[in-house]
Amino acid sequence: MSNCAWTFIIAAAVALIVTPGVIRLAAATGAMDKPDKRKVHKVPIPRIGGLGIYIAFLSAVIVNVFLSDPSAEVQKEIIGLIVSGTLIVVLGLIDDYKNLPAKVKLLGQILTACVLVFVFDVRIDFITDPFGDYLYLEWAAVPATIFWLVGLTNTVNLIDGLDGLAAGISAIASITILLVALEGQFFLVAGLTAALAGAAIGFLFYNSNPAKIFMGDSGSMFFGFMLAGISVIGSMKSTATITLVVPIFALGVPILDTTFAIVRRWLGGQPIFKPDKGHLHHRLLKRGYSQRQAVFLMYVISALLGLSAIALTEVSSQTAMVILVAVAVSIFYGAKKLGVLHLVKS
């Protein structure tokens, strides 16, 4: 059995084992997500599931990724991810207990991103497109990397609105990047995404509808930050499409949902950070879909975008252009049908 398979199994097994303890800890310490007019659950649910996800990921990475490659460069990158990932989980846990103001949380995300960039020298030095062209960022490398890390952290955070939604999409995104990494023989990226996918799948056993626990900000921000950080490490090792295009497609659903939310609130004269009920999952529920149906549909869309990302790494430039146009047309049509740019009162 391959090293990535063992990494996945370890992470999934640890998530399955530790999450019940996290549920009991949440109940004992008051980390409960109470229902309100924006939320779809009717009873308080434990919400620090990110702690179990973090333990599962960390266990698999240390046992089967970190110790398997003794090179100083690789170990420095892994340590950087672990340190910054720990900081983002701590920030998320504080928010899960105290409900931090949005601007305070954003500042914490930026500072965490700065740790990975400045302390461990993990940054995007160039960007590529599906056609193999690339552009060196030079002076823009640092702000671009921080924007990327903070942006993806928040896209996953904002999609976490239904049972199993963020965990499932994170699993699909992780597996997409894993497959592309294996094809390109980027074994560090493959190992890290295998651990992330395993942690997500193991957690889904308790998080699928009806959820016994929510991942909370500690989990959703961790998934977003890790996927962003792992893709930056991939960008440091190759000019291939795996660098940024694949993660953008793999996380297409939360990225689009966040983009639509920002534009919608701006057009409606609302503060960008003000919550509303206009997210994709809210609109699907309003159209009569059940929670499970809405989540399944968004899984399917994420999987199709993931397959498109994989295809982009294998096809000619002309075929890649056809795929990009088809995806753009589909997004435009779907957005128009759902009315995602129309402001919805919270």
327 part of a folded domain:
no
pLDDT at 105: 95
Structure confidence at residue 109 as a pLDDT band (50, 70, 90): very high
Residue with more model confidence, 68 or 201: 201
Query: Does some domain include residue 21?
Result: yes
pLDDT band, residue 314 (cuts 50/70/90): confident
Band (pLDDT 50/70/90 cuts) for residue 326 is confident
The verdict on residue 336 lying in a domain is: no
pLDDT tens digit sequence for 135-150: 778 888 999 999 999 9
Nearest to 244 by CA among 253, 230, 231, 255: 231
Whether 128 is covered by a domain: the verdict is yes
Name the domain count of the chain. Answer: 1
The per-residue pLDDT for 37 is 63
The pairing of strands 32-33 and 45-46 is antiparallel
Q: Give pTM, 2 decimals.
A: 0.91
In a domain, 285, yes or no: no
- Region 112-133 average pLDDT: 83
Domain assignment present for 260: no
Confidence class for position 239, pLDDT limits 50, 70, 90: low
- pLDDT for the residue 13: 97
- Dist. CA 31–CA 29, nearest whole Å: 6
pLDDT at 284: 86
**Residue 155 within any structural domain of the chain:** yes
Which distant-in-sequence residues (6+ apart) come within 8 Å of 315 by Cβ? 323
Boundaries of domain holding 157: 3-240
Contact 341, 257 (CB under 8 A): no
Mean pLDDT of 278-285: 80
- Please check whether residue 196 lies inside any domain of the structure: yes
